[in-house]
Amino acid sequence: MSVSSLPETGATTFSNPVIPGFHPDPSICRVGEDYYLACSSFEYFPGVPVFHSRDLVHWSQIGNALDRPGQLRLPLDSRSSGGIYAPTLRHHDGRFWLIVTNVSSDGNMLFTATDPAGPWSDPVRLPGVPGIDPDLAWDEDGTCWCTVAGVGQVRLDPRTGETLGPVRKVWSGSPGAKAPEAPHLYRIGDYWYLLIAEGGTERGHGVSIARSRTPDGPFEPCPANPVLTHRGIDHPVQNTGHADLVQAHDGSWWMVLLGVRPGGGTPGWHVLGRETFLVPVDWVDGWPVVGELSLRAPAPPWPLQPVPVTPVRDDFDLSVLAPHWVSLRHRPPADCTTKERPGWLTLRARGASLDDTDVTFLGRRQQHLSCRARVLVDVGEGRGGLAVRLDERHHYDIEAASEEVRVLARIGSVSTVVASRPVPPGPLVLRVETAAVDTLTDALTGPDTITLGIEEPDGTFAGLAALDGRYLSTEVAGGFTGRVLGMFASSGAVHFDWFDYEPTDR
């Protein structure tokens, strides 16, 4: 179906982020009128979520590139925000190519696929490619150039992984700017363009570009660098950087990039991680001019797809889990299954809690500043429940046991039971509500409140604890991820009949 034949939705604007929730380091490519995008995934398994769109605005997850242990080795004692850093996704010579770094085990690896939804190949290891943020680009004679953070570059045989020559430094970014990273190399018109992020992935983040007549430089920096940054400006999206360019099917140019939406008073806390945004790009005198990034932006000049409807409820009625579900570091089939009790998800504890790196967990990214998550849980003689997780040292949990439910808070080295109450044995509905703060009473206001509780038999919500959400933000916890809302088992086998995720943003 060509884009022109897509049903007209008549939309004249679109909402940013186009992929909300922790979907950082976006890399995009186009095949005909289909767009594909991949993101970092760190300690989560499966890794590298892959998305598809026909209009650059509405994206549906079609799979995860790294969905088996042979592709994704995450040591069970590895720290959060390790694992899978930034990928580059390209289409060349009739197939898809994904190059990515596993900082916790195998370093840089290359995968290929004929269908981006998978299956993807086993890894081609790249021992000669250093550092992080590897990029792939091919020149007319078929030479494959691999460019990495720093900014270094080496010729590569992408089928064997062999590097063909030394790694050379080709650019250091803008004078004085730290962390030149996220390089992407493009042949556009008469030039090779080298796009990078610099300034660090925090508030100083920005996008810069340079060009050369040859793929290996020397590169001439754009006089207008950084071509995009929000450092020091009053804008609801901050930390903008780590971008990738794509030419649309109509010849126009667009950029995807990461940004954060801090909430609360100063310094501002972002809780959803680094999200994927879309902005238009124009070309003037051989240099890109990046359009304004706004939360409600003018729609591209083609029909927008109807917004993909994501059901609120996952009934776990299927033998396979939807691709947005993630576990921590691995997912042993016996510990996370919908086959043991048909129509239910069974999580079997491995003797660890959410304070540990190897807890049995199944979650989905929080994608809205205000939202509601509910589960129907039957813990039997076990112990488990529903959690808002940033990492092992920053999570709020509502945990059910046979005759008690309790709210636990882990903030750094502090861990405490915040509330508890007796409950009758049997299935129970647990609920987590996050409510973003929309009016600042003072500079110390946090970004949101997280209320954890149970539903009474008549459905009313009995909140057991309302906790400050700043402690589950990246500014407090550190690292590169965002909140994940999920189910966990800390003892025995715990069964979940359904999981509801519902935006409640006003």
User: Footprint of ligand 6LW on this chain (CB under 6 A)?
Assistant: 24-25, 40, 85-86, 132-133, 181-182, 197, 201, 241-242, 258, 480
DSSP-assigned letter for residue 120: P
Residues classed as catalytic: 25, 181
Q: How far is the CB of 205 from ligand 6LW (least distance, A)?
A: 7
Residue 24 contacts residue 256 (beta carbons within 8 Å) = no
Q: Whose Cβ is closer to ligand 6LW: residue 105's or residue 415's? A: 105
Q: How far is the CB of 198 from ligand 6LW (least distance, A)?
A: 10
Region of 76 (left: φ > 0; alpha: ψ -120 to 50; beta: rest) is: alpha
Q: Which residues contact 41 (CB under 8 A, 6 or more apart)?
A: 47, 48, 49, 64, 66, 83, 84, 326
Q: Whose Cβ is closer to ligand 6LW: residue 158's or residue 241's? A: 241
Task: Name the burial class of residue 245, with classes exposed (0-12), middle (13-18) and buried (19+) by CB atoms within 10 angstroms of its CB.
Answer: buried
Residue 181 contacts residue 149 (beta carbons within 8 Å) = yes
Residue 90 contacts residue 29 (beta carbons within 8 Å) = yes
Q: Which residues contact 69 (CB under 8 A, 6 or more apart)?
A: 330
Residue 445 contacts residue 437 (beta carbons within 8 Å) = yes
Residue 358 contacts residue 76 (beta carbons within 8 Å) = yes
Q: How far is the CB of 443 from ligand 6LW (least distance, A)?
A: 27
Q: How far is the CB of 44 from ligand 6LW (least distance, A)?
A: 13
Question: How many angstroms separate the CA atoms of 158 and 110, rounded?
Answer: 7
Q: Whose Cβ is closer to ligand 6LW: residue 257's or residue 304's? A: 257
Question: How many angstroms separate the CA atoms of 89 and 23, rounded?
Answer: 14
| DSSP-assigned letters across all residues of 438-466 | -S-SSTT--SEEEEEEEE-TTS-EEEEEE
Q: How far is the CB of 197 from ligand 6LW (least distance, A)?
A: 6
Question: How many angstroms separate the CA atoms of 346 and 42, rounded?
Answer: 25
DSSP-assigned letter for residue 19: B
Q: How far is the CB of 73 from ligand 6LW (least distance, A)?
A: 18
State the Cα torsion 20-452-485-356 to the nearest 10°: 140
Q: How far is the CB of 241 from ligand 6LW (least distance, A)?
A: 6
Return the structure tokens found at 143. 């030479």
Reduce the DSSP state of residue 472 to 3 states and report it: helix
**Which residue is nearest to ligand 6LW, using beta carbons?**
201
